[in-house]
Structures are given as C-alpha cells and as structure tokens.
Amino acid sequence: MRYPLKVWRQHLVPQHALTTFAGMLSHSEIPWLKNYLIRYFLKRYNVNMNEALEPNPFAYPSYHEFFIRRLKPGSRPIDASPTSIVSPCDGTISQMGKIEGNSLLQAKGRHFSLEALVGSHEDAKAFENGHFATIYLAPIDYHRVHMPLSGTLTHLRYIPGELFSVNPLTTDHVDNLFARNERVVTFFKHDHGSFAIILVGAMIVGSIFTRWGGNVTPHRAKKILDISYPNLPEQHIRLDKGDEMGYFALGSTVIVLLDAKMQWEYDLSQNSRLVVGQGIGHLLP
C-alpha cells in the first residue's frame, strides 16, 4: 500500500512543539485573534451553534472555550435502559468488536496490543477477550467525553507518546497508532465488572482534562504517571452513566474497553455516526 505524503509529513514535523504553539493560540484572549480563529472554524465547518449553551460564538473568551463549548440541557438525551451502554462522545466509529486475546483491530490489516495501549500487563489481562469501541472525534464534533456506564474510578494512567493525527487516513497507515500516541487511560468498576475509557491525544490537541483532576497533560511529561484513587466509600469518585468525565482541548479519539458480558448494537458498524448518550450496546445477564 502506498504511503501518503500527508502521513509522511507527520513523521517530519515537530509534533510537540507544533501542539504547544497551537495550544497557546487557542487560549489567547486577544479579541481579534480569537475571533479570527472562531470565524475561520465556522466558515470551514457547519457548526450548529443553536444547541450550544452559549449560541453566540464570539461571546467565548477564547477559541479554546468556544471549542469545548457546553450544550444546552437535553441536547443529548441519555438512553435510560438499565442495561444499556451509551456512546461517550459525538463521533464516528473507527472500529468496534471483540478483543481477540490481547489484540485490537486498528484498521484493515492492522492490529495493536491491548497491553501496549493501557500500559500494564495486569490491567490488560482484565480486558483480554473482552470488547472495545474506537470512536473518532472530528473537529466539528462536540468534544466533551461522558460516561458509557455508571462506575467508580479506581485508577488513572497517563502515558506519554507521539502526537500523530488520528484521522482515518493516518489510522489506515501508521502501525500501533493508538498505542504510540500520548493518552490518558481511566479505569472504572461497575456492577458487572470493569471498563476503561481511553482519551488518545493527537497533533495540536493541547491538553486532556478530567472532571476530577483537571489538566492531566500540563507539561508533556516524559514518563508514565500512575494515580490510584481512595478505596474508602466516602471518598469514591463515582460517576453516573451520561455524566461528563473529561474533554479534549481540540479533538482526538476515545476508546472504550469492557470486560463484562455484553453485545454491541447490530445496526452499528465502521463509519456509523454517534452522539453522546446514544445506546451502542447492552449488558447481558
């Protein structure tokens, strides 16, 4: 397969420096600059500002705040079935299915290691032969990430890495993409087992935030960071299905891993469009 020039260029550019610069621009509150960036974005993408909590795009103090805009209450109804698994984000299914032992499908002819993705042999074993869904967030998508199930946070792992784009073209051509890029792996317990939500960084994604810890990637650390959370019930961080759990400062990919008996919805496949709260699967007894 021919290697596209757009992918080759990503090997050559200074990924982290470019991302840092983009982050600085996106946080600027200089009126003419932030309005120029917002206006360019609106012109390039068909953004539905009517569903935003603040529908005036130029009322946001920065491009960053515009990009992570909240939606009006009720804009994303959460599937209320007690056994449903819901989409954690707006986006497009890149891949979805069974984890074959320790291997996940990235794209046709390309697989990657579950252990490499989560950064731990022990954590990987919990999801072997489980289920996964990889969802790509395009720039136009709502970029806050929500809970696919109710759960209690047990630990988090920040894994440094490269910052390749995660668009479909790059996904089709860069081996081990999601296990190479910077990412934040969050682990949860729920009534039927365990699940993980993985926020994968990418080119010009300034930062990855969690609801409970803020910016997990403030200085582009060079080593793996593990954080465990209290076992005392009164100190648990518990989030309900549909609750916001984090967001990207610019866009990327979310991967959900589940170890429970479950089934994905039959009408979903690669390239299916999703919105937050939409039922994408259900737990089995």
Catalytic annotation, pick one of 146, 165, 190, 194: 146
Work out the end-to-end distance of the chain between its first and last CA atoms, rounded to an integer number of angstroms.
44
Give CA–CA dist 26/79, Å, rounded: 34
Reply yes or no on whether 240 is catalytic. Answer: no
Q: Coil, strand or helix: which one is 25?
A: helix
Instruction: Answer for the pair 263, 245: CB distance below 8 angstroms, yes or no.
Output: no
Which residues touch 96 (CB under 8 Å, ≥6 apart)? 132, 133, 134, 264, 268, 269, 270, 280
Integer-rounded Cα radius of gyration of the chain = 18
Spot the catalytic one: 90, 123, 141, 259. Answer: 90
Residue 193 sits at φ, ψ, to 5 deg, of: 145, -135
| Euclidean distance between CA atoms 178 and 118, whole angstroms | 10
To the query of whether residue 146 is one of the catalytic residues in this protein, the response is: yes
Catalytic residue flag (residue 111): no
- Which of the residues 84, 120, 165, 252 is marked catalytic? 252
Q: What are the catalytic residues?
A: 90, 146, 252
